[in-house]
Chain A
Amino acid sequence: MLSSWRARLGWSAVRLLLTVVVVLGVFGLFLWGLGRDPIKAYQDTFRLNILNPRGLAGVLARMAPLLLTALGVAIPFRAGLINVGAEGQFMMGALLGTWAALNLEGLPMGLHLALVLLAGMVGGALWAAVPGVLRARGWVNETITTLLLNYLAPLVVGYFVFGPWRAPELAFYPQTPEYPASARLPLLFGTRLHLGFFLGLFFLLAYAYLINRSRWGLELRTVGGNAEAARRLGLPVERWILAAMMLGGALAGLAGVAEVAAIHTRLKLDISPGYGFMGFLVNWLAFANPLGILIMAFLIAFIASSGFTLQITQRLPYAAVNVLMALILFTVLAKPLAQRGKR
């Protein structure tokens, strides 16, 4: 048992290493073809985003929403559900959190922030409840509904940002007034790293413990493994499906409100560069494994940060950065095939 677990970990490490080597190699050739120095490019990227403490803090700040959105996909995944909707849940979390931030001012410092974060979780959970109910009742597949709701969420946010919540002095770019100080998530060490990162780590640990060691985790995984068998065992399968979706949505929503409360400090439409979709990618790379989520979230955060470093240091056109992203996706897409072969 232990040895097979070790072998699997070994295989994962080899696969990760191979992925990295292939991506860096091919992209290096691409850089070389453009007349750039790939070694220098990788050195700069590493020096500025890993070795430099401020740069590293920037990568970790980007990891915060990725950890939470990845968990938002992982929990439904364990229940056999595909939640493509973390992006929309992220936005709705930010929306409801903003309501709390702007309307509950005057509460004591910690209480206000706690309510803002809680409201964000409720926003994400409610948005995820829609596909959750539809799936639990057996009406509509959740992959479709969560995906489609991603397109709806920015329209809802847009209604408030362009309409009732718009800050009057900001005619050029519609956004809400600034969060009051009591609703802000503190930034740490004078960098962009914020408390949301530790919230992400906390929920990752909680997930790791609950999913493997608790009765709830066992029931959830049973529902995910074989819903029919779970039903015959007397498990409330419908309730578990709804709960898994709402829990996932709550964490994605927390990611959204934390990002606004820490970094942007006001709600606007461009708060996410696709954190929900990146979280989906993280979970997919990690197969809902907690340690895998930690590593992959770091990797994706690092790559996203490197994109702009490459543009600045190597004068690469913006489109070239997309080539790197596409290469990673491509290599990642090749993974399940190799796995299928092994089984």
Chain B
Amino acid sequence: MKRAVLGLVVLVFGLVAAAEPCLIVGMIIGGTKDDAGYNQSQYEALMALKEKMPCVEILFAENVPAGEAEAVLESMILQGAKLLFPAGFAYMFPALNVAKRHPDVIFMHPGGYMLADNFGTYFSNVQFAYYLLGVAAGLMTKTNKLGFIGGMPTAFVLGNCNAFHLGARAVNPNVTTYFVVTGAWVDRAKEVAAAQALIQQGCDVIGSHLDSPIALAQTCCEAGVFYVGYPSLAVQKFCPEYWITGLGLSWGDFFVEVAQQVLAGTWKPEHVRRGLEAGFITLGEFGPKVPEEVKKVVLEFKEKLVSGELQPFAGPIRDQEGNVRIPEGTAWGPLDMGKFDWLAEGVVGSPK
């Protein structure tokens, strides 16, 4: 009996020692990990971390409502997590509450504006890259009417719509962009209705800023109109035929960077914002119907954007009423993206 117990103890210790991870990393997301959108992009970055640092142990939970976030994060900390990604904007305050109680655990939050000693943020400079999708759309449209569907009329959504429109105008001055808001980050029925309304008005390329544009892609396929994808490249498989190109949030390498900093004790709380140049966001492959000529122009614009030669938000830029919002000789940078409460000249729709 004694020997059996001893053997068991040795066995358990052996197993624990063998499986001891170098770092336990947790992530919660508000949707599903295969939504071909925001949540999938977060999950894929986590999986990339696991692949590049096999000694890391992953804790993961999906469909976590913001009201439950504290409980789930606490549970992950109980299981030894030392680095947590509360990967949804709505988790900002719940995660901050948990962070206050656990100063030894590092939190990285996507897109928030709060910092604490153990709480930093990360996000991509999406608006600048969205300009490229506008360039592609401006070259592909036949009707010169583009559509844009936003979840909520926030500054970042308005910024993406403006970038889409300005990019298109850079190559096609006759373009008009129709802007529609569904009022929710996820509402498939309203997304389909919005897409159909845009198509009926004659829009033949549609961009979006939603959690997941799956329903939009499917609607475009049925109607035979083009679309651009964001925030995950995975959406193209739902309608490969009318896919022009898209943007994918790509944070895998950055997650590795963070995990290594946490292990080395060099992590610092800051707002990390990077763009195409740093691989924080990726321009996708082109779809089968996109002519070589279009691909060439878009890639030229991309090169100029990455090198810094091209400033998408360089003045003069006017709003819908004709007021100059960005004066000549100035340009808005990544830190100005939260300031959009207006839509650019030539966009039809309300910024509220």
- Contact assessment for A312 and B79 in the assembled complex, using a CB-CB cutoff below 8 Å: yes
Contact of B66 among A55, A58, A268, A305 (CB under 8 A): A268
A330 at interface by CB-CB < 8 Å: no
Which residues of A297-336 have CB atoms within 8 Å of chain B's CB atoms?
305, 308-309, 311-313, 315, 318
- Contact assessment for A48 and B79 in the assembled complex, using a CB-CB cutoff below 8 Å: yes
Q: Give 4 closest A-B pairs by Cβ, nearest first.
A: A318-B63, A171-B154, A270-B67, A173-B90
Find the B residue at minimum CB distance from A54. B78
Find the B residue at minimum CB distance from A53. B78
Q: How far is the CA of A52 from the CA of B75 in the complex (A)?
A: 10
- Contact assessment for A313 and B79 in the assembled complex, using a CB-CB cutoff below 8 Å: yes
- Contact assessment for A305 and B71 in the assembled complex, using a CB-CB cutoff below 8 Å: yes
Contact of A48 among B63, B75, B152 (CB under 8 A): B75
Chain B 74-108 interface 0/1 with A at a Cβ cutoff of 8 Å (1 = within): 11101100000000011001100100010000000
Contact of B93 among A266, A308, A313 (CB under 8 A): A266
- Contact assessment for B61 and A308 in the assembled complex, using a CB-CB cutoff below 8 Å: yes
Q: Which residues of A contact B101 (CB under 8 A)?
A: 190-191
- Contact assessment for A265 and B67 in the assembled complex, using a CB-CB cutoff below 8 Å: no
Find the B residue at minimum CB distance from A309. B75
Chain B: residues with CB nearer than 8 A to chain A?
A: 26, 32, 59-68, 70-72, 74-76, 78-79, 89-90, 93-94, 97, 101, 113, 152, 154-155
Give, as a whole number of angstroms, the nearest-CB distance from B49 to chain A.
16
A235 at interface by CB-CB < 8 Å: no
Chain A: residues with CB nearer than 8 A to chain B?
A: 48, 52, 54-55, 58, 61-62, 169, 171-173, 190-192, 263-266, 268, 270-273, 305, 308-309, 311-313, 315, 318
The SS class assigned to the B binding surface is helix
Q: How far is the CA of A62 from the CA of B67 in the complex (A)?
A: 12
Contact of A172 among B63, B72, B90, B94 (CB under 8 A): B90
Give, as a whole number of angstroms, the nearest-CB distance from B190 to chain A.
16
Q: A48-B78, A265-B93 are in contact. Are A173 and B66 (CB under 8 A)?
A: yes
Find the B residue at minimum CB distance from A62. B71
Find the A residue at minimum CB distance from B94. A264
Q: Which residues of A contact B79 (CB under 8 A)?
A: 48, 312-313
Q: How far is the CA of A266 from the CA of B68 in the complex (A)?
A: 14
Most buried by A among B60, B61, B72: B61
- Contact assessment for B155 and A308 in the assembled complex, using a CB-CB cutoff below 8 Å: no
- Contact assessment for B70 and A263 in the assembled complex, using a CB-CB cutoff below 8 Å: yes
Q: How far is the CA of A23 from the CA of B60 in the complex (A)?
A: 25
Q: Which residues of B contact A55 (CB under 8 A)?
A: 74-75, 78
Q: Which residues of B contact A263 (CB under 8 A)?
A: 70, 97
Q: How far is the CA of A62 from the CA of B74 in the complex (A)?
A: 13
- Contact assessment for B70 and A312 in the assembled complex, using a CB-CB cutoff below 8 Å: no
- Contact assessment for A58 and B67 in the assembled complex, using a CB-CB cutoff below 8 Å: no
- Contact assessment for A172 and B154 in the assembled complex, using a CB-CB cutoff below 8 Å: yes
Q: Which residues of B contact A309 (CB under 8 A)?
A: 75
Q: Which residues of B contact A312 (CB under 8 A)?
A: 26, 59-61, 72, 75-76, 79
Give, as a whole number of angstroms, the nearest-CB distance from B94 to chain A.
8
Q: Which residues of A contact B97 (CB under 8 A)?
A: 263, 265
Give, as a whole number of angstroms, the nearest-CB distance from A39 to chain B.
14
Find the A residue at minimum CB distance from B111. A172
Find the A residue at minimum CB distance from B58. A315
- Contact assessment for A271 and B67 in the assembled complex, using a CB-CB cutoff below 8 Å: yes
Q: How far is the CA of A54 from the CA of B70 in the complex (A)?
A: 12
Q: How far is the CA of A296 from the CA of B70 in the complex (A)?
A: 23
Give, as a whole number of angstroms, the nearest-CB distance from B93 to chain A.
7
